[in-house]
Structure 1
Amino acid sequence: MNLSILDELQPIAEELQRHMSPHVLEHLAKEKGFVQRKSKYQAQELVALCVWLSQQVASTSLTQLCSCLEVSTGVLISPEGLNQRFNVSAVQFLEQVLANLLTQRIHSTQEIIHQYTTTFKHIRILDSTTFQLPDKFSSHYQGSGGSSHTAGVKIQLEYDLLSGKFLHVYVGEGKENDKTFGSASLQTIQPKDLYIRDLGYFDLHDLQKIHDKGAYYVSRLKLNSRIYRKNDEPEYFQNGTVKKGTLYIQLDTEELMNQLLPGQTMEISEAYIGQYQKLPARVIIHRLTRKQTEKRLKEQAKKEKKKGITYKERSKRLSGINVYITNLSVENVPTEHIHDLYSLRWQIEILFKTWKSFFQIHKCKEIKKERLECHLYGQLISVLLCSSTMFKMRQLLLDKKKKELSEYKSIYMIKNYYLLFYQGLKKNIQELLKVFLRLFYLLDKNGKNLTVTRRKQSLISWVLCMIVRCHRISKLHNFFKNIYLIGLFVMHIFNIVVEI
């Protein structure tokens, strides 16, 4: 066995056992009233069904669930008996398991990655995903409207890209407003955090709060927001008092757009955002290509039809640009890299896609509310454990084997090991450690050497890789400069090889 790799895997196995072992789960279940007397069906069986056995509790029949439970655990229970065990106490128990996992590190080296950059302490990406439910749930989970279903669930997730840690997970009604949750989540702002959010969370007061706390943001700007610059020659009253209405000059966004050719970018370095707020910020305007603009207009037309809304003609004309605002200095992030930095937000959308493709979190039939909630919290626990394990394993592959493996491949391979995790947890730490080592060797076998994959990587992939690897980087400006120089070197070597 590779002792170095075993030493790295030991903390993650210990943390998993600390939070998910049968003894710990049983103790927590008693606290929440889920277990009140001894029976065959205990806390570990509920967790096995909702987390480890890859069962779709909200869409699989009770008979099938009972059959799977008996085959995997030896516990025999009737369909009606199982249905009764999906109760309020079970929901509270699983909710607490998720909360405990969120407040604890899944592996002890999770935060070590922060030493590799002095620019950002965290890269915090917030986004939400919504899915429809059968109409019978509308009294508890009202939908957002605009579809044939009246019920829906919205899951809010804030994710730290540097540590792979889930900072916030919230399950609520589909109709709930993103901006409200975004404002509430700012209670944990820390200096040097970088916030990346989509337009649904846009709020100038929130951005001001982030700036005041010594943190950073990169955000899209709503097209109805006003952009100003300071007037160098304001008007004055006869008594010498400046006329407030002349302190700033509003810029015409359409006029700015028309100054750009498709694919071009411009920056307004000292701008002020908002009619009343006047938030100081850098403004970066990027003109989309014709193909990108056509695609966006098609998406707008589809949205108009689906939700019964109508976009203003000005909004349609401005669909040809992306406007970003940030409080990052140009020394830290040059103009041409703002779009790529904002595009890191797509990493959380990859997570959402895996939720639906691998974990089937959105699949539900007409069942009782408590069973649905057991499914939701069980799948969120599963996603959290899988994401944390994926982060650690990919980091190990990079450090020990100089290999990379996509999130997509990593997740389905890890999920295939869930039954082995469950069996290892029932035995001891040594057995669990053997499972993690087997998993690492599987991922290693399917990984690709960096020398092969880097030529095909996008700048975004470079960002994620170099954050982990380049611990001597002190400024993000130098970071992009290093990428550029290394890229030239690789291209030079590649050309030499081709000539040979």
Structure 2
Amino acid sequence: MHPRQHIKLHIEPGCSCLSSTKINRKNTHLSQIPICTNLRSEVCSRLLKTRDRKPHSYDNNSRTGPDHASVVNDNSRRSGKKTGFIQRQRTVTGAGFAQTVVLGYLANPEATREELHQTAAGAGMTLSTQGLDKRFTPKAAYFLDSLLAEAVTQMVGVIPQAQGLLARFAGVYIADCSQVALPEALAGMFRGNNGEQDAAVKVAVQIEMNSGQLGLWWHDGVVHDQRTGVSAHSLPPGTVRLNDLGFFNLATFAEDERNQVYYFSRYKVGTLVYTTDGMPLDVVKYLKQQGEQGCDLAVQLGADRLPCRLLALPVPPEQVGKRRKRLEETAKRKQQPVSARALALVAWTIYVTNIPREQLSLREAAILGGTRWQIECLFKLWKSSGGLADSRSQDPQRVLCEFYAKLLAVLVAHWLLVVSCWQRLDRSLHRATQVLRKQVLALLNAWTELPLLTRALEQTAAIIRTTCGMSKRHTHPLTFQRWLEVETVDG
């Protein structure tokens, strides 16, 4: 299995194979978080040492991994000897290259060749712009892939201080996937989605909303959401799985029920619904009878009759037309007809869940369902603001290097935002990221001296913490306001 497919941030406490960091700001130095180790020379050196690597598979088939997976020099023996990626130790180091591309793109996702060259000089490397350009090779891509695999084994989160609705659960986990198109020349490494794209990578993310802990995986674009790393492990008891329809799976829901995990999902059109006495239920007909009141009904789902609640809330008239248009556009893109049932149900937001009624009312379900939008905002931050899907280059290997570097950059940024402002429910990650970008040069200048780096990180965190808040809205309350509208069960 290729490193990009099996590495993840563990989402359960106590896993011996992964390192875990939970931050209490009052008692922990920010220098202890992975940003202060993962790009430093110790880790980069370890990644570039000689290792006996066998070809990896991309998926469950027997297809071999990328060409750059075998670039490590099998004949090297000495501890500090590097692979072919580093040929002139005095000029370019693994740590220097990693700092250049990761911090360079963190500071400016649209960085030019000249700007990256300036960052390289700040990282202590003495080479020309053209010399840096030549470093974007298949070997460099493999190096960055390995560094990313190393980085995501670190789990950073604050000690949860949940309030309002989210405090009712041991954790609220939201997952989603997003695709990034790659040049056609990389189709042999990252297969696109069913022919729609010749080459694409699927990025799967799972975030725990109370602590900020992040799970990250990357796969071939063709891989189904339910076969990504998100679905690989069970969640801890008492937590909520709040996923997109791409993860809708009755077998997973049944397993969650057995493991005392709550699932909360949009209803998938076409799923069989039965009353509690086993009679088929026509959802469209039933909802038409409810008028605008909405419903909270005990039902059974699927052939195995999974018991759950079916919650339905009417959609405002101005939203119905937009939903219908999106549905028709999606059907046209997939060259599939739109069913009459699907068109009828656009007037409703329908959820299925095993959360007890006494723990979540119908009104509160609407708030919890709206929480899933937070991961959409995260992907928007990574793509629109972080440039994850963009590149100035036409060279496939440079584009691939940029993808890995930018994914590392958004991961590093997330670590810093978690320890800086996650305990603020009114946080704006977009605003916090803007502040962070302005501080990257100060971090780079302090990188080699731990006391200076600690001070720079603390100063950056203080600025972010002070300035990242959002103003409350009275007409259209923000998500954090809606969370706080709800008292905890115990309260």
Change (3 A) 1:60 1:133: farther
Query: Could you tell me how far 1:59 is from its partner in structure 2?
Result: 7.7
Residues 381-435 of structure 1: CA distance to partner in whole angstroms, max 9, x if unpaired? 2111212221222246x4xxxx94422101121122222222222222x212222
Match of 1:238 in 2: none
Distance 2:439 2:50 in 1: 30
TM-superposed deviation, 1:94: 2.6
**Partners in 2 of 1:333 and 1:289 — Cα distance?**
22
Deviations 1:200-250 (A, max 9, x none): 11110011111111111101111100110133xxxxxxxxxxxxxxxx100
CA contact (8 A) 2:202 2:219 kept: yes
Change (3 A) 1:286 1:259: same
Query: Is it true that 1:163 corresponds to 2:211 in the alignment?
Result: yes
Judge conservation of contact 2:31–2:454 (CA < 8 Å) in 1: yes
| Distance across 2 between alignment mates of 1:258 and 1:6 | 51
Relative distance call for 1:423 and 1:218 in structure 2 (3 A) is same
Counterpart in the other structure of 1:272: 300
Mapped partners of 1:161, 1:369: distance in 2: 36
Once the 2 structures are TM-superposed, how far is the Cα of residue 278 of structure 1 from its aligned partner?
Answer: 1.0
Task: Verify: 1:99 aligned to 2:149, yes or no.
Answer: yes
Judge conservation of contact 1:142–1:173 (CA < 8 Å) in 2. yes
- 1:51 maps onto 2:102 in alignment: yes
Mapped to 2, the partners of 1:316 and 1:38 lie a distance apart of 63
2:224 and 2:407 map into 1 onto residues whose CA distance is: 21
Q: How far apart are residue 455 of structure 1 and its match?
A: 5.2
> Helix, strand or coil for the counterpart of 1:153?
strand
> Of 424, 437, 451, which residue of structure 1 is paired with 2:458?
437
- Counterpart residue number, 1:22: 41
- Which has the larger displacement, 284-293 or 210-219? 284-293
Tell me if the contact between 1:58 and 1:371 (Cα under 8 Å) persists in the aligned partners: no
Whose helix fraction is larger, Structure 1's or Structure 2's?
1
Distance 1:454 1:436, change over 3 A: farther
Which piece of structure 1 moves more, 436-445 or 319-328? 436-445
Q: Does 1:77 align with 2:127?
A: yes
C-alpha distance after superposition, 1:341-366 (max 9, x if no partner):
12211111111111112210101366
Q: Is the 8 A contact 1:57 1:372 kept in 2?
A: no
Structure 1: which amino acid aligns with 2:436?
I
Residue 285 of structure 2 aligns with an amino acid whose one-letter code is E
Aligned equivalent of 1:361, options 367, 388, 395: 388
* Structure 2 CA distance for aligned equivalents of residues 55 and 341 of structure 1: 32
Q: Which runs of 5+ in 1 are unaligned?
A: 232-247, 468-472, 483-500
- Which residue of the partner structure matches residue 458 of structure 1? 477
- Determine helix, strand or coil for the equivalent of 1:40: coil
Distance, in Å, in 2 between the alignment partners of 1:59 and 1:175 is 28
1:211-222 aligned at under 5 Å gives the runs 211-222=257-268
SS of aligned partner of 1:280: strand
CA RMSD of aligned residues (A): 3.3
Given residue 191 of structure 1, which amino acid in structure 2 is its aligned partner? P
Counterpart secondary structure, 1:331: coil
Q: Does the aligned pair in 2 maintain the 1:129–1:154 contact within 8 Å?
A: yes
Contact 1:12 1:106 in 2 (8 A): no
Answer yes or no: is the 8 Å Cα contact 1:354–1:408 preserved in 2: yes
Does the C-alpha gap of structure 1 residues 127 and 416 become closer, same or farther in structure 2, counting only changes over 3 Å?
Answer: same
How is 1:287-298 mapped onto 2 (pairs within 5 angstroms)?
287-298=314-325
Q: Partners of 2:453 and 2:475 in 1: how far apart?
A: 36
Question: Mean Cα displacement is larger for which, 336-345 or 96-105?
Answer: 96-105
2-structure distance, mates of 1:146, 1:321: 33
Q: Does 1:315 align with 2:342?
A: yes
**In 1, distance between residues paired with 2:98 and 2:452?**
19
Q: What is the alpha-carbon distance in structure 2 between the residues aligned to residue 141 and residue 363 of structure 1?
A: 17
Answer whether contact 2:274 2:300 (CA < 8 A) is retained: yes
**Structure 1 Cα separation of the partners of residues 109 and 334 of structure 2:** 27
Is it true that 1:187 corresponds to 2:233 in the alignment?
yes
* Helix, strand or coil at the partner of 1:250: coil
Give a deviation string over 1:53-95, Cα, whole Å, max 9, x none.
Answer: 127999867x536633454335343566445533444334333
Q: Pick closer, same or farther for the CA change 1:337–1:185 going to 2, 3 Å.
A: same
Asked whether 1:326 is paired with 2:353, we answer yes
Aligned to 1:425: 447
1:56–1:375: 8 Å Cα contact kept in structure 2? no
After the TM superposition, which residues 86-165 of structure 1 pair with which residues of structure 2 at under 5 Å, given as runs?
A: 86-106=136-156, 110-113=158-161, 119-144=168-193, 149-165=197-213
**Percentage identity across paired residues of the two chains:** 21
Distance in 2 between residues matched to 1:142 and 1:122, nearest whole Å: 34
Measure, in 2, the Cα distance between the counterparts of 1:255 and 1:52: 56
Alignment TM-score, normalising by the size of structure 1: 0.77
Tell me how far apart the structure 2 counterparts of residues 138 and 6 of structure 1 sit (CA, whole Å): 44
C-alpha distance in 1 between matches for 2:151 and 2:456:
21
**Alpha-carbon contact 1:128-1:157 (below 8 Å) kept:** yes
What's the TM-score, normalizing by structure 2?
0.78
Match of 1:487 in 2: none
Change (3 A) 1:354 1:175: same
Q: Once the 2 structures are TM-superposed, how far is the Cα of residue 31 of structure 1 from its aligned partner? A: 5.1
CA pair 374-331 structure 1, distance change in 2 beyond 3 A: same
Q: Do the aligned partners of 2:110 and 2:391 also contact (CA within 8 Å) in 1?
A: yes
**1:123–1:193: 8 Å Cα contact kept in structure 2?**
yes
The number of aligned residues is 435
**Alpha-carbon shift at residue 444 of structure 1 (Å):** 5.1
What do residues 118-170 of structure 1 show as CA deviations (whole Å, max 9, x unaligned)?
Answer: 742221111011133333333333332586x5332221111111111112x22
223 and 287 in structure 1: CA distance in 2 versus 1, 3 angstrom threshold: same
Who is 1:251 aligned against? 281
Alpha carbons 1:134, 1:365 under 8 Å: kept = no
**Which residue of structure 2 lines up, in the alignment, with residue 38 of structure 1?**
89
